[in-house]
């Protein structure tokens, strides 16, 4: 590391669990973030500030005035710009050393199959059920750790899928893709703005732990937050024996 890097990342280096070795692993890593909105904004900003060497952002949307209540990577001046470009500008302002690759496209199976295999960790910051399952399937197929978060109204959740662990459940083990699920969106149901910041920051924290090889991840656990009472709850989850996604693992 350079002298400037030693200064920039000094508060991480001071942590016994991280140290210089852990920070160097972060600097050499590649994170893939699916979604540059409410969750993707804080996740991207924290990963950039922490020095993740290469970050790829995928989102097909543009910045809208209604986004600014919660999507903190964007500004009023960037309304109408692609979200990935807006977020990349915010990341560069914090840490110009980070290499940011942007893709303004929907994260379909073909896109994910190409991008996931090159990533060290994947963060699912999307806002729809179909994309979450597509990201999960790609991560299982390529044996890449996934940090999945979701927020709607006052309810939030986060988990980690780690296909490198034989007993780790995937997202489909917890939320079967064939389940009769009613899609809800913040555009019609609303979302309490600070909760996406909380969960996005937690996603960044879990990703950094995975990259640096420190602590214990949320693999096998679903962490949930009720924003009305600010009460956390944890549900232990096991790998589903008949999961259609895990069967190929």
Question: Which residues are designated catalytic?
Answer: 186
Give the integer Cα–Cα distance in Å for 220 and 82: 35
Backbone CA torsion sign across 24, 95, 143, 211: positive
Pairing type for strands 30-34 and 121-124 reads parallel
What separation in angstroms does the CA of 113 have from each of 40, 200, 207? 20, 24, 20
Secondary structure (3-state) at 143: coil
Name the CA radius of gyration of the chain, rounded.
Answer: 17
Closest CA to 34 of 90, 110, 105, 91: 105
């Amino acid at each position: 590391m350079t002298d400037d890097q030693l200064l920039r990342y000094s508060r991480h280096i001071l942590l016994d669990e991280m140290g210089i070795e852990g920070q160097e692993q972060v600097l050499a890593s590649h994170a893939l973030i699916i979604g540059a909105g409410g969750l993707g904004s804080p996740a991207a900003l924290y990963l950039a500030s922490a020095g993740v060497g290469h970050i790829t952002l995928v989102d097909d949307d543009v910045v809208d005035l209604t986004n600014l209540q919660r999507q903190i990577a964007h500004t009023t001046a960037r309304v109408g710009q692609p979200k990935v470009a807006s977020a990349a500008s915010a990341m560069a302002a914090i840490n110009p050393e980070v290499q940011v690759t942007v893709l303004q496209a929907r994260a379909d199976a073909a896109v994910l199959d190409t991008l996931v295999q090159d990533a060290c960790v994947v963060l699912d910051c999307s806002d729809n059920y179909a994309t979450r399952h597509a990201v999960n399937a790609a991560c299982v197929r390529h044996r890449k750790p996934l940090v999945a978060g979701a927020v709607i109204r006052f309810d939030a959740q986060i988990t980690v899928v780690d296909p490198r662990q034989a007993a780790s459940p995937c997202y489909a083990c917890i939320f079967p893709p064939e389940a009769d699920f009613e899609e809800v969106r913040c555009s019609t149901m609303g979302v309490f703005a600070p909760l996406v910041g909380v969960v996005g920051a937690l996603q960044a924290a879990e990703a950094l732990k995975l990259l640096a090889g420190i602590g214990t991840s949320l693999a096998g656990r679903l962490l949930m937050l009720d924003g009305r009472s600010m009460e956390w709850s944890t549900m232990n989850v096991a790998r589903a024996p008949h999961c259609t996604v895990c069967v190929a693992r």
